Amino acid sequence: MAFETITKAPSVRAHAALTDEIRENFTWEDARAMLDGLPGGKLNIAHEALDRHLPDHGGQTALIWLGKDGARREFTYADLVAETARFANVLHANGLNMGSRVYGLMGREPELYIATLGTLKAGCVFSPLFSAFGPEPIRTRMEIADANALVTTASLYKRKVKAWADELPSLKLILIVGDEAPEGCVALSPAMAEASPEFDTVPMDPEDTSLIHFTSGTTGKPKGAVHVHAAVAYHAMTGRYALEMRPETVFWCTADPGWVTGTSYGIIAPLVNRTTMIVDEAEFDLDRWYGILQDEAVAVWYTAPTAIRMLMRSGKDAAQPYDFSALRFMASVGEPLNPEAVVWGNEVFGQPFHDNWWQTETGGIVIANTLAMDVKPGSMGKPLPGQVATIVERDDGSVRELGPGEIGELALRPGWPSMMRAYLHEEARYYKAFAGGWYLTGDLAMQDGDGYFWFVGRADDLIKTSGHLIGPFEVESALIEHEAVAEAGVIGLPDETAGEVVRAYVCLNPGFEPSEDLEKSIRGLARKKLGPAVAPREVLFRESLPKTRSGKIMRRLLKARELGLPEGDISTLETDEK
């Protein structure tokens, strides 16, 4: 289905941070010029995010925390400088120094944001964990990186860590948020109260490790993507150009801080660009979210396709009572954004959601629909300044570049500041991701004649039926155009004649009930939009679809269930936000 391009008005283009002139003349020195730096060519993400804003802007609100019980706490930049200094002093007082590895395991609580930046300020390495993980995923990730410290809550510690903590020899310190701590742990509040609010941020080499983000691979074994302090230049640049962050902008990123998005664009980029961040402790609730957009006068909103589809499912009327006049830019992250959602955003908010593409390995946004660009619904957009992207086909260790309209693997020219520097302890696995001078992303895509990139699917999700290569995302996007369909998942199943046949699973919007006539109606729309070769042979109704904890539909789990395969390993494959 080809949706009409959403053409931006000249007045909108005029306010865009990324202009044609910047695109044409950009160099990586321009990105580094956005930073303050430390003497001797040193660098530290925490300095760029916090310290450099003092004294002139210390009184500006940096973080507004909204508790799920109605509590509200505000932190100025000066507050965060002092609190992160206290945390850094706590680490040093407990024997953790430059290079020590600190893990964070908790939800959207102020202490996690303080711990992240305090760890970096101390010269240590931070690694976030998703708080909904079970004990085994937590332990595996901490073992891979030889964790030295963990910051968590008493509840999470007792339920998920206590049983095996003594079996991890590298683990020297467990900090528990609050006034009390279980035996063998340290209560964070008293330790912070005793610590000095002053700390000289440790100057780091730009290539020193700052963050380790875990992403799951096709084998199910987590990969620890290593990122460095130099990445902060990319966070600064992309926050400005891809997400329209400016000083004092009220910015809300709904991503969980346990994932790379929640760190790169939920902590670092907004603070480096001196925004005011909204942090909501609660999970998705339609009226709460609309209320936050209105009451906090959110200007830039970065959310996920899953959440957008949930808003869509509630209908346009649910948004009518709210005032969204402060909103000037909306973007989506986590998985490809269906064209229908882009158009819906334009109808409800008066502006489209801007999709973008990146991975844990890239460390930051690579391809984006920026404010100045016309939006082609369903497209990822165009590469950001400094990025070179193409579509390739692998061929015995080398690659061949493909032309416009051809589907192949998305490839990037290495060298941007936030690119991962390694997979922890897996050198061979890291170098396997490169060939012919390109980083090979594992995502299938297509570039059109105007330079826009279009996501097709993961290489291992592609369906081959009767000689046709089909990307599930294209079929899913067509299915949710039907008024009855809220969500869709598409897989290929073995077939003696066609090789594979396309099967779809859908969840219905309120007011619709499964029926044979409805199934025919949905299939009929798909055939009309996609053609009979691409449309699903059958549509099955489901109350819910299996998803990762970050909301992505797990096609491989759908397929495993249909084929009677063991689900144990498959269900852990796609657990990362990006």
Residues 474-500: pLDDT tens digits? 788 889 989 999 999 998 888 776 678
Contacts (Cβ under 8 Å, ≥6 apart) of 7: 374
pLDDT band at 549 (very low <50, low <70, confident <90, very high): low
Amino acid at 450: D
Q: Are 460 and 476 in contact (CB under 8 A)?
A: no
If phi over 0 gives left and psi between -120 and 50 gives alpha, with beta otherwise, what is residue 285?
beta
> Over the stretch 12-44, which tens digit does the pLDDT of each residue have?
999 999 999 999 999 999 999 999 999 999 999
Q: What's the pLDDT at 550?
A: 61
Whether residue 570 has pLDDT greater than 80? no
Look-up: residue for tokens 């580094």? 32
CA 545 to chain centroid: 21
Determine the average pLDDT of the residues in 369-375: 97
Mean pLDDT of 364-381: 97
Domain 462-545 sits in CATH 3.40.50.360: no
Q: Do domains 10-447 and 462-545 have the same CATH topology?
A: no
* Contacts by residues 541-546 (CB-CB < 8 Å, ≥ 24 positions apart): 541/505, 541/506, 541/507, 541/508, 541/514, 542/505, 542/506, 542/507, 543/507, 544/507, 545/487, 545/489, 545/505, 545/507, 546/489, 546/571
Contact 161, 152 (CB under 8 A): yes
Q: Are β-strands 61-66 and 276-280 bridged in parallel, bridged antiparallel, or unpaired?
A: parallel
What is Dmax (Cα atoms) for the chain? 72
Give the tokens for residue 455: 């996501």
Percent of the residues in the chain that have a pLDDT greater than 90, as a whole number: 77
CATH of domain 10-447: 3.40.50.12780
For the record, the structure tokens of 355 come out as 């999709």
The pLDDT score that the predictor gives to residue 2 is 64
Domain residue ranges in the chain: 10-447, 462-545
* 531 or 73, greater pLDDT: 73
**pLDDT of 578 above 90:** no
What letter represents residue 574's amino acid? E
> Residue 83 above 70 pLDDT?
yes
Q: What angle do CA 59, 283, 147 make, to 5 degrees?
A: 75
- Please give the full DSSP string across 251-301, using - where no structure is assigned: EEE-S-TTSHHHHIIIIIHHHHTT-EEEEE-S---HHHHHHHHHHTT-SEE
Query: pLDDT tens for residues 153-176?
Result: 999 999 999 999 999 999 999 999
Token pair, residue 492, equals 């290929």
Q: In what order do the strands lie in the sheet with 276-280?
A: 72-76, 61-66, 276-280, 250-253, 300-303, 329-332, 353-357, 367-368, 382-383
Q: Alpha-carbon distance 350 to 322, whole Å?
A: 13
Position of tokens 């020899």?
169
What average pLDDT is seen over the chain?
Answer: 92
Tell me, what's the pLDDT at 532? 80
Q: Which tens digits make up the pLDDT trace of 107-118?
A: 999 999 999 999
Tell me if the pTM is above 0.75.
yes
- Which pLDDT band holds residue 218 (cuts at 50, 70, 90)? very low
